[in-house]
Amino acid sequence: MARASVLIPTYERREALVMTLSGVAVQTLPDLQVVVASQGDHRAEDSPAARAVGRVIEARGGSVEWRHRERERGIAEQRHFLLGRATSDAALFLDDDVLMEPFVVERLLSVLERERCGFVGAFPAGLTFVGDVRPEQQRVELWEGSVEPEVVEVEGRNWDRWQLHRAANLHHLARKLDLPSEGFLRYKVAWVGSCVLYDREKLLSVGGFSFWDRLPRYHTGEDVVVQNLLLRRFGGCGVVPAGTYHAEVETTTFPPGGKVDADALDLLPELIERHAPGNAGPR
């Protein structure tokens, strides 16, 4: 069995997807199950460049599965589908506009296995902001001991942690931190987007993305919901330096007008009651 499943939902981003797959192809941990699920007018596997990079992944010991899905039901349903295809104990949800440095998957997996938490994220920097330094948004809370469950309430005291994941804040923070010999630090999060490694069984224990059918086609916040549940029961963290970078192309998960029809966070109180009642629970 592969050490990790890399799950990539993609929608009309042929160039960015090739960039993303190229990062997967050069990972120091090559034993990967890669599943690419495309929607829209173009099948991901119709790109000669994408297929070529897929062959590199396979030549290095991984596997690549191409899935094109005619019906467009939104990103939560895409994640639900991909999670059902994963075979590894660790499942990396990787957006189709993220480039990983070679160490990323191996580092995330080592943290997930050591901490036994619900998820570990490597949030990508947008390097068009490399000259836009925002010290007021770089406040960070480091995990000094092991990662523990915690309650992060929507708009509560720790919700503002998301500010660290704007622009190139995490990139700037990494350059000024005193890093230990292992080369990275773990920090507390409200949520992490774009590149997140989950403990698959823990993710399934909070329902995964099975709430997808209660959301309209265009929505947001589906990953925030599952991570909030996992934080309460198992804990989660981010790593810095992240070693990931945004392509900074236009989003394709929003409708043409840019306004989504629903926020999955509206479902959170009910899902907490069902999957994470009380406060932080047992590991």
Q: Is 205 helix (H, G, I), strand (E, B) or coil?
A: helix
Burial class (CB in 10 A: 0-12, 13-18, 19+), 63: middle
Both tokens assigned to 51: 């297929």
Beta bridge partners of residue 251, listed in sequence order? none
Q: What Cα–Cα distance (Å) separates residue 185 from each residue in 17, 135, 213, 237?
A: 29, 19, 37, 10
Q: Where are the domains of the chain?
A: 4-275
Q: Kindly tell me if the per-residue pLDDT of 253 is higher than 90.
A: no
Fold topology of 4-275: Spore Coat Polysaccharide Biosynthesis Protein SpsA; Chain A (3.90.550)
- What pTM did the predictor assign? 0.96
Q: What pLDDT shows up at residue 282?
A: 41
Q: Average pLDDT for residues 79-99, to the nearest whole number?
A: 98
Name the residue among 11, 201, 218, 192 with its Cα closest to residue 108. 192
Specify the pLDDT at position 258.
72
Query: What tens digit of pLDDT does each residue of 116-155 get?
Result: 999 999 999 999 999 999 999 999 999 999 999 999 999 9
What is the share, in percent, of the chain residues with pLDDT greater than 70?
98
CB-based contacts of 110, cutoff 8 Å, min separation 6: none
Please list the helix, strand and coil fractions of the chain in percent, rounded to the nearest 5, in that order.
Answer: 35, 20, 45
Question: CA 123, CA 22: separation in Å to the nearest integer?
Answer: 18
Does residue 283 carry a pLDDT above 50? no
Strand 185-187 with 236-240, pairing: antiparallel
pLDDT digits (tens, 9 = 90+) for 165-219: 999 999 999 999 999 999 999 999 999 999 999 999 999 999 999 999 999 999 9
Any idea how long the chain is?
Answer: 283
pLDDT of residue 281: 45
Dist CA 227 CA 221 (whole Å):
10
pLDDT band at 279 (very low <50, low <70, confident <90, very high): low
